[in-house]
Amino acid sequence: MRLKHFNLSFGEQVFKALADESRIRILHLIVRNKEMCTSDLEHVLDFTQTKTSRHLAYLRNAGLVTSRKLDQWVYYTIKDEAADFVTQIFKYLERDTLLHKDVETYRILYSNRELAANKILTRRWPVP
């Protein structure tokens, strides 16, 4: 689904949302990974929970992201209506070193999580 009503009011909200480096970094991680939970964003970007939540609320109110709750975690995705627009913006920023560093940090975090889970699953428990 594409944006059907890109008017001045909506454009103002979008451009305000993209006027902050923190929100651009958050949005980029969500675009690259399809879905991100708040705690992963906090760890990757080294933000506090308050700062992360405030920026996510701004992005949600601007109509760029949507959220779903699963137990105690909240996961964010790009709204279908804004996906093409947001993806196009990040094509212009594809060589930014800070955005690449964020993606690499998440890749390492995710890899370490997978290694830990695998270690627990394959661990041999001593027989008493």
At the second CATH level, the architecture of 8-122 is: Orthogonal Bundle (1.10)
| Per-residue confidence in pLDDT tens, the chain, 128 aa | 455 566 787 778 888 888 999 999 999 999 999 999 999 999 899 999 999 999 999 999 998 999 999 888 899 999 988 888 888 888 888 888 999 899 999 888 888 777 666 666 676 666 66
Quick one: which of 33, 29, 82 has its CA closest to 56?
Answer: 29
Between CA 2 and CA 11 the distance in angstroms is 14
Say how far apart CA 119 and CA 128 lie, in whole Å.
Answer: 21
Report the predicted TM-score, pTM, of the whole model to 2 decimal places.
Answer: 0.80
Transcribe 55-100 into DSSP letters: HHHHHHHTTSEEEEEETTEEEEEE-GGGHHHHHHHHHHTTT-HHHH
Query: Do residues 29 and 102 lie in contact, with contact meaning Cβ atoms separated by under 8 Å?
Result: yes
Delimit the domains of the chain by residue range. 8-122
